[in-house]
Amino acid sequence: MFTMQYDDRFIDQLATKIADRATDILVERLGSLNELPPILTREEAMKVLRCGQTKMSELMARPDFPVIDEFGKKIPTQLLFKWVERNTRWVEENTNYFRKGVS
């Protein structure tokens, strides 16, 4: 049986490339992050996340999901993308991608 071993540096580099490519694909699909409004409606967020009403309801009920209630349920665009990054479980658990620059 053939097995391969990878060091942490290689895995970090691979994860960084995957995260960067995923961001490129997202930007490509959306045209540009700058084209999105600073505050998203529920429907706009559903399009960005490519999810349905049930999943969006589940997400908006989470205590860690960025929702503003003061003027109807709205989602700050920048915080939504940060939330997606922070909740990308594999990258978080298997790399130092989010701990860069921390000493």
Q: Domain for residue 41, yes or no?
A: yes
In a domain, 102, yes or no: no
Q: Does some domain include residue 66?
A: yes
Domain membership flag for residue 101:
no
Does 15 have pLDDT greater than 90?
Answer: no
Cβ atoms of residues 11 and 46 within 8 Å: no
32-69 pLDDT tens trace: 556 889 999 999 999 999 999 999 999 999 999 999 99
Domain count, the chain: 1
- Answering whether pTM is above 0.75, one says no
Compute the distance between CA of residue 54 and CA of residue 26 in angstroms, rounded to an integer: 22
Distances (CA, A) of 48 to 7, 11, 16, 31, 81: 35, 28, 22, 11, 10
Handedness of CA 56, 60, 65, 69 (dihedral sign): positive
- pLDDT, residue 103, reads 45
Q: Is 15 part of a structural domain of the chain?
A: yes
Q: Does 16 fall in a domain?
A: yes
Other CB atoms within a 10 A radius of the CB of residue 95 amount to 20
Average pLDDT rounded to a whole number, residues 4-18:
83
Packing angle, helices 53-61 and 42-49, rounded to 10: 110
What's the gap between Cα 44 and its chain centre?
15
Percent of the chain with pLDDT strictly greater than 90 = 38
Q: 57 is in which domain, residue-wise? A: 8-94
User: Do the domain assignments include residue 30?
Assistant: yes
